[in-house]
Copies of this chain bind each other. A is one copy, B any other.
């Protein structure tokens, strides 16, 4: 069998674990030199394929590739770019195939969330239609943990650990000063459509009364009166109240809290900020001193406090992607499957992309406590194993983590037409 080249690309929001998947892909491909030729990475994701900007990962040392395992964000660049619907305009998909053909790419490994699963499926279908031999494999990645058919998504466990650890730490801070200072602390976390990340904050609580005292999920309609009553009750009972709010928290009519809030000095609506909106509500109605934090990218980039389980899975997913491709599979996503029994065990599997693409997995109602403000034992059982274990990056003598720097050396173009044409 002739050696063919491999193309790997990162898509959408980056995570603390996506480079571990890249590491798994590249190291496994290098271990299979007899069957895989060059390993290209798309510069800025799928845009790199469209523009024929292919990074030659062969130019990177084994040491740099190994360091990807402990490096956050997207080492080859990622993008938010939605390909045109090929039913309407198939020029972009045709272009992808032309680039793949020009560079003899036989393996397409696409690392992203729901949108990229859809792209990967369409590429697989187009290649089949053209009779172009291509193994197209989707590698899951999303901090939102909202892909179906996989027990969890690489990237989520690390953001979950960051949020749980930060909630525990900030909770101790507030508790120790609440008598004369801040009584209400609000931490806003990611998850526009699903409350998985917010739910992870619930892992911080060990005993009754521990923070977080309230979690606001996108899945539960926000009721200001119930919220305020609960905050007040918590402050009266415990002296303080820690709230973790999903950025996707919304009112019963579907409007986001983040859109309801502030107007800046110029009269423009200010974007973002469930936390300040809630803080203003608390101050106006209850008069408590408050503080709030918005972790934003800090949470998904926090490789320094990554979950060892997450990093192992992210790496394994990349490795399996190459193995599946070599085994002739295509049009599938690598999945993480949980074993039965109380002790957490996982293995890898696969799911057909037809079923995966564009399906969003919300937090099940059974994971949210009856009152809508906390997590259940079922949620805890599901989430706790995903943050287990620490996987620290190496640090320099300067006290900072040593993260990989990739050269991003591009291979020469072979096509005559540029993109866009």
Contact = CB atoms under 8 A, between A and B. Distances in A.
A293 B76 CA distance: 24
Nearest to A180: B79
A216 to B, nearest CB: 18
B301 A296 contact: no
Interface in A255-288: 260-266, 268, 270-273, 276-277, 279-280, 283-284
Contacts of A73: 169, 172-173, 175-176
Contact of A297 (B78, B165, B293): B293
A100 interface: no
Contact of A168 (B79, B270, B309, B403): B403
A297 B263 contact: no
A14 interface: yes
Interface in A400-419: 400-401, 403
A397 interface: yes
B165 A304 contact: yes
Interface string A363-390: 0000000000000000000001001111
Interface in A167-183: 168-170, 172-177, 179-182
Contacts of A10: 176
A401 B204 CA distance: 9
A398 interface: yes
A298 interface: yes
Nearest to A398: B384
A283 B176 CA distance: 38
Contacts of A301: 166, 169-170, 172-173
A346 interface: no
Contacts of A294: 292-294
Contact of A272 (B77, B179, B276): B276
A405 B293 CA distance: 24
A265 to B, nearest CB: 6
A312 to B, nearest CB: 13
A205 to B, nearest CB: 10
B260 A265 contact: yes
A294 B261 CA distance: 17
Contacts of A65: none
Nearest to A43: B179
A180 B399 contact: no
Given A73-B176, A270-B280, A272-B292, A170 B298 contact: yes
B295 A298 contact: yes
A196 interface: no
Given A72-B169, A166-B302, A293 B296 contact: yes
Interface in A54-101: 71-81
A141 interface: no
Given A179-B44, A304-B169, A389-B399, A280 B264 contact: yes
Nearest to A175: B73
A108 B181 CA distance: 24
A75 B284 CA distance: 31
A17 interface: no
A180 B47 contact: yes
Contact of A177 (B77, B161, B390, B392): B77
A197 interface: no
Contacts of A181: 79-80
B266 A263 contact: no
Contact of A399 (B16, B271, B387): B387
Given A166-B298, A168-B401, 9 more contacts: A13-B177, A72-B169, A77-B177, A169-B401, A173-B300, A261-B270, A263-B264, A292-B296, A389-B395
In order of increasing CB-CB distance, the 7 nearest A-B pairs are A74-B176, A293-B296, A387-B399, A262-B262, A73-B172, A169-B301, A173-B301
